[in-house]
Amino acid sequence: MDYSPDIGLYHLDRARVSCRHQTPFCNRHCYMKKLYALQSPELFRAVQARLEREWQEMTPERFGSLLRRRKHPLQRFRFASQGEMFSTPLDVAKVASIIEAFPGILFWAPTRAWRSPALRALISGRVMTLPNARILASLDPSNTSEEFRGLVSDGWSTTFFGIDDVDSLQQRLFYGWASGGYHCPKTWQKRKGSCAVCMGGCFSRDQVHVYLKRH
């Protein structure tokens, strides 16, 4: 578990190998590539192995012990600022068990696992029903307007990344309203730490479609 001042939240990450449900666009334009490029091959492998080991060893009890060591306030938490939390059905059960064990924390998890019909059903039934879970389907220009509309009709909130021109035709295929969805203050206005206090975006109780600036 680490703390990111950029988002103002604690987070748990996964290794890149967990990204089983990525799109071609996501693979090419992953924002973590900038960090990966700064690491030597040896350091990259060591960090990736550590992240995955920590996740495999994670339990609600282990999560609680990490919380007791925190230095910053914790009312919100992010799953997977890198990697994919819902890589397998076992991951869905583990995430659900952690969220259930800490009802006073709002848990945020962007995910591409919705692209797997089996995982989509599991996440919808096991995690999205929890009152302190905020699960958003990640979308990019690799996805279709039909996929977006299907998610909307199924009650999913979404994030979109990859096109900064809100007036472009492709963007309007996803968001049929002039505003282009909720503009993320962190990525559009460079508000450091805004994820900890933002009310209209990823932590909304209502269905929301968050528009991210490329970063």
| pLDDT score for 167 | 66
CB 186 within 8 A of CB 192: yes
Per-residue model confidence (pLDDT) at position 52 = 92
Question: What is the predicted pLDDT for the residue at 73?
Answer: 79
For position 178, what pLDDT does the model report?
39
pTM of the entire predicted model: 0.89
The side-by-side arrangement of strands in the sheet containing 182-183 is 2-4, 9-12, 76-79, 106-111, 133-139, 157-161, 209-212, 182-183
Give the pLDDT confidence score for residue 174 in this predicted structure. 58
Q: Could you tell me the mean pLDDT of each successive run of 10 residues in the chain, 215 residues long?
A: 92 90 86 73 87 94 92 91 94 98 97 97 98 96 88 92 72 52 88 90 92 80
Q: At what angle do helices 117-126 and 89-101 cross, to 10 degrees?
A: 10
pLDDT of residue 173: 58
Determine the structural domain holding residue 142 and report its residue range: 2-212
For residue 111, what are the CA distances in angstroms to 44, 67, 138, 200, 203?
A: 23, 23, 5, 19, 14
Please report, for residues 101, 125, 192, the alpha-carbon distance to residue 195 in angstroms, rounded to integers and kept in the order given.
22, 26, 8
Query: How many structural domains are present in the chain?
Result: 1
E-state strands within 39-197: 76-79, 106-111, 133-139, 157-161, 182-183
pLDDT at position 177 = 42
Secondary structure class of 62 (helix, strand, coil): helix
Q: How far apart are alpha carbons 134 and 156 in whole angstroms? A: 10
